[in-house]
Amino acid sequence: MKTLSRVWPGILVFLLASSAFAFQPLRSSTGAAIHWAGNPTYKINKNGSNNPTTNGCVANEFTTINNSFSHWAALPNMTLNVQYGGTTSRTDWCGQGGMTGCDAFNLVLFTTGFSSNAILAMTVNYYTVSTGVIAGTDMAINDAIDWSDDPLSKPSCSGGGFYSLEAVITHEAGHFYGLDHSFCTDVGASFTPAIAATMYPFYFDNDYWTDMVSLAQDDMAGVVSLYHNSNPTGWGKIKGRVQYNNGVGLFGVQVTAIRASDKVPIVTTFTRNGNYTLYGLPPDDYYVYVNTPRIGSQLFTASVSKYWRGPDQVPYILLYKQLKVNQRSSLGPGGTPFTKTAAKIITVTADTTHKGVNFTYPSP
């Protein structure tokens, strides 16, 4: 898998960020949700891609980029209106070094000079730390990569050396809106890219590029939670607390709602002061569990904004009603926890909040 984006360090009054988490908004060092206060307009550098292979495999990179943004713009109940402002000759983007390009000009461009071709693209938000309000956002696309409209089956433009431009820019557009990375992906011992959120921090095999373009419920819930109107969404919420038995709340642990019928993860979030809210759940039956996510042996904090550094790590998975699970494989569709009455099902209905779904771990 290749990296889709990286986290940048903070500078002075403003911070740079290029990733975030679970269905979580990006957060500043103070915990403020990073977001737009007004409707932003982005422009694309007029040169497009200078990679001849990409030029032969992408019919129109400007159209593909705009299509990627449109996946987010089409969501219901959204108040943010992101606009395409045409092309520009500007090439200075925030994140290329120092504070060059860190301004209110929202630029998308193809460029070389990345530290590694393991980085496919990078989105850098420039915002005020205290409020989280975004001043500007730039998106840099690695022009050393061979991009394709269809890296799965298009003749001469498919195979392991090609990547879907639409899939990667759809992910990066999520950062543009203010979303962090998500680990709403795996259940049990196996990893299933087809059910992963678009905001997962790595590119999967090309077999799954269309899944990456199609937003998961976790993605939709995240962006609508940042920019929603007063109309009912038709979704429900689950609220609760994760704490030690001495009453101290845990920070930065993941809470996941999985659909009871097929054990697919639908929405995740992270605790802050111990409390959490799973927002954007379609009416259905769910199990809820708590864990510390990892990519292989790597702790999740390597792929998220600095706010989440130093989380509390839970020693085992805990399902609602205090059912302890030591083996991740037990969370699969045929897993034994779901045959026991202790793994309680929570029924979520539209426009309601189910409260008191709490978890308690022994004191550290």
CATH number at residue 303: 2.60.40.10
Task: List the domain range (segments joined by +) for residue 194.
Answer: 2-224
- Claim to verify: residue 312 and residue 172 sit in the same structural domain: no
- Claim to verify: residue 289 and residue 255 sit in the same structural domain: yes
Strand-pair category, 14-17 with 294-295: unpaired
**Boundary (domain end) residue, out of 183, 203, 224:** 224
For the chain, the distance separating the N- and C-terminal CA atoms, rounded to the nearest angstrom, is 35
pTM over 0.85, yes/no: yes
**Boundary (domain end) residue, out of 178, 196, 224:** 224
What's the pLDDT at 53? 97
What's the pLDDT at 96? 78
Tell me which H or E stretch contains 217: helix 217-226
Q: CATH number for the domain including 182? A: 3.40.390.10
- Claim to verify: residue 91 and residue 152 sit in the same structural domain: yes
- Claim to verify: residue 110 and residue 202 sit in the same structural domain: yes
Tokens of 20: 């975030």
Answer yes or no: are the C-beta atoms of 238 and 281 closer than 8 Å.
yes
**Boundary (domain end) residue, out of 224, 253, 271:** 224
- Claim to verify: residue 143 and residue 255 sit in the same structural domain: no
Low-confidence ranges of the chain (pLDDT < 70): 1-24, 98, 186-191, 231-232
Answer yes or no: are the C-beta atoms of 81 and 180 closer than 8 Å.
no
Tokens of 4: 């889709």
- Claim to verify: residue 167 and residue 188 sit in the same structural domain: yes
Give 170-197 as a DSSP string.
HHHHHHHHTB-B-----BTTB--GGGS-
- Claim to verify: residue 217 and residue 241 sit in the same structural domain: no
- Claim to verify: residue 239 and residue 134 sit in the same structural domain: no
What's the pLDDT at 158? 93
Total number of domains in the chain:
2
What's the pLDDT at 347? 97
- Claim to verify: residue 276 and residue 178 sit in the same structural domain: no
CA dihedral over 262, 266, 268, 274, signed as positive or negative:
negative
- Claim to verify: residue 67 and residue 187 sit in the same structural domain: yes
- Claim to verify: residue 243 and residue 180 sit in the same structural domain: no
Cα–Cα dist 65/70, whole Å: 9
- Claim to verify: residue 215 and residue 327 sit in the same structural domain: no
